[in-house]
Amino acid sequence: MQAFTDRWVNGFAKLYEENPLGQISWFTGTVSPVLAELVIDGTIARGQRVVDLGCGAGVAAAFLARHGMTVTGVDNSATALGAARHLSELYGVELELIEADILATTLPAESVDVVNDSFIYHNVRPEARTLYAAEVARILKPGGLFVMVGFSDRMTPGSGPIRLTSDDVLGAFLPGFEVEELRRFRNLPTQARPDQWHWLGLFRKRGQAAGA
């Protein structure tokens, strides 16, 4: 099954190949304020193993590595992974970068503490949502955290990613996860879309964490 909606199946690789990062619509050059808060309050902690699914140019992955996490970025665009490699070298941080599909990451089962999703789930076609949630659950340790940031239904309608309702988010994740938080927040504005109303979803994989 193709993970992303038709609009995006082959679109990303071409965008990365043909444009500087500063002209790519979602590229803000920084992590979401909510991801920084999760590091500040220790929800994502030094030493944890984090996977950034659909890591793109590696901004979130390099940020997390800089703050002491062991980070793997997964993306299916070799050009994006090249940019992520470049960024990690500029930062002087270690990143494991894997060219793979988000529905079949090739990562070992129950091997990571946190899965980060910045602008991925809102591009996943509805028929693939449960497969995506299953892959996230497979790689997370019991008690591991899934962090999702994506377009909400409070965004102005139009082209681009799906404006997710709360049901769109909860439907896929409720069976295997407990909801710690699901709220809309204002993310960094872009020129094309100044009103960025996004979801922050924090979901904890069900099951007892080892040593708990």
Contacts with ligand SAM, residue ranges (CB under 6 A): 3-4, 12, 26-27, 54-56, 59-60, 75-77, 80, 101-102, 118-120
Distances (CA, A) of 185 to 23, 151, 168, 195, 197: 24, 10, 17, 10, 6
Q: Which is nearer to ligand SAM, 54 or 144 (CB)?
A: 54
Q: Which is nearer to ligand SAM, 118 or 152 (CB)?
A: 118
| Residue 145 bridge partners (DSSP) | 114, 204
CB of 152 to ligand SAM, least distance (A): 15
Determine what percent of the chain falls in helix, strand and coil, rounding each to the nearest 5: 35, 30, 40
Helix (H) or strand (E) holding 137: helix 129-139
CB of 87 to ligand SAM, least distance (A): 11
Q: Which is nearer to ligand SAM, 78 or 174 (CB)?
A: 78
Which amino acid would we find at residue 145?
Answer: L
CB of 210 to ligand SAM, least distance (A): 28
Tally of CB atoms within 10 A around 150 = 24
Q: Which is nearer to ligand SAM, 113 or 117 (CB)?
A: 117
Residue number of the CB closest to ligand SAM reads: 56
CB of 190 to ligand SAM, least distance (A): 12
Q: Which is nearer to ligand SAM, 186 or 206 (CB)?
A: 186
Write the burial class of residue 148 (CB in 10 Å: 0-12 exposed, 13-18 middle, 19+ buried): buried
Three-state SS for 66? helix
Tally of CB atoms within 10 A around 145 = 22
CA dist 1 and 205 (Å) reads 24
Q: Which is nearer to ligand SAM, 26 or 179 (CB)?
A: 26
